[in-house]
Structure 1
């Protein structure tokens, strides 16, 4: 091999083996998201589910402590953006930015599930305001937790990229 050909081959090997600035930027962004407990594959954070888990916890207390119904009735629905804007989450701006730049299909699936949870909790709250007996409120609370808990699990799966295209995309790019 001539010295020119050898240098060209060496230079080509060097270019192929060095990560590009784009790859380095993606890796830095992924590390930043991971450090903030935001899934770099989906751009979503499980912290948002605490908003729904709080409502579930209050609902679960109603059968044994009927006065907790008033606490549940004080729960207010919040969108992903609203939750993080109002939270003490260290990386709240990053969480909102990552959500906004998340894959639209993943975000739409996630938003559909969280919208369903919000609708259920809001409807149950309205029904509890109409209910006059503790037993009726307890029944409503039990039904609501039975409907919302599996949805929280589904939403968590989306956040973590379980079984989604995010897994495939992540594997194919790493």
Structure 2
């Protein structure tokens, strides 16, 4: 990369200072976009998982909703924002990429676990022959994923006390 290209890239996407602190103008820009300035993460990504939960919660009472859940597709953080109408999607992706590596690793671990659960449940639902089996799968998945969404929200909102490894081993 030429020095001119590097300079342009830095001006388009300024990196936070190495101390992890950001200036107040940058923090305000992130807050205005509903991105936590301390973590660089946006709760909007959790809507992706909440959509799957909502569909799963409907399955026991309306078995035909299982088909709607089966259309849910896993998306990474960046994929979610690229596919969304989120007004600050470029900023959300850039802030995620600049997030503290430990915070992002904990967050990514949780979201990968949620994705694995939802994908496995989708596979099992496709193989299930009875509505009651699908309803049981939906109820179990909801019970597993909902607390993980709450933990991911805690990480997004800067709860450094979340011990992802301890939660995942229980």
Partner of 2:61: 64
Task: State the distance in 2 between where 1:89 and 1:163 align.
Answer: 26
Q: Aligned residues, how many?
A: 142
Q: Residue 91 of structure 1 is aligned with which of 88, 97, 100?
A: 88
Task: Give ranges in structure 1 of 5+ residues lacking alignment.
Answer: 1-21, 166-174
Report the Cα offset of residue 26 of structure 1: 1.3
Q: How far does the alpha carbon of each residue in 1:71-110 deviate from its partner, in whole angstroms, 9 at most, with x for none?
A: 0000000000000011000000000000000000000000
Q: Residue 112 of structure 1 is aligned with which of 109, 116, 122?
A: 109
Q: Residue 41 of structure 1 is aligned with which of 38, 41, 46?
A: 38
Task: State the distance in 2 between where 1:105 and 1:162 align.
Answer: 13
| 1:128 counterpart = 2:128 | no
Instruction: Tell me the TM-score normalised to structure 2 length.
Output: 0.82
Partner of 1:150: 147
Measured on the aligned residues, the alpha-carbon RMSD in Å equals 1.3
Instruction: Tell me the TM-score normalised to structure 1 length.
Output: 0.80
More helix by percentage: 1
Task: State the distance in 2 between where 1:161 and 1:74 align.
Answer: 32
Partner of 1:74: 71
Q: Residue 138 of structure 2 is aligned with which of 138, 141, 150?
A: 141
Task: State the distance in 1 between where 2:134 and 2:73 align.
Answer: 18
Task: Give ranges in structure 2 of 5+ residues lacking alignment.
Answer: 1-16, 163-170
Aligned structure 1 segments of 4 or more residues deviating by more than 6 angstroms: none
Report the Cα offset of residue 162 of structure 1: 1.4
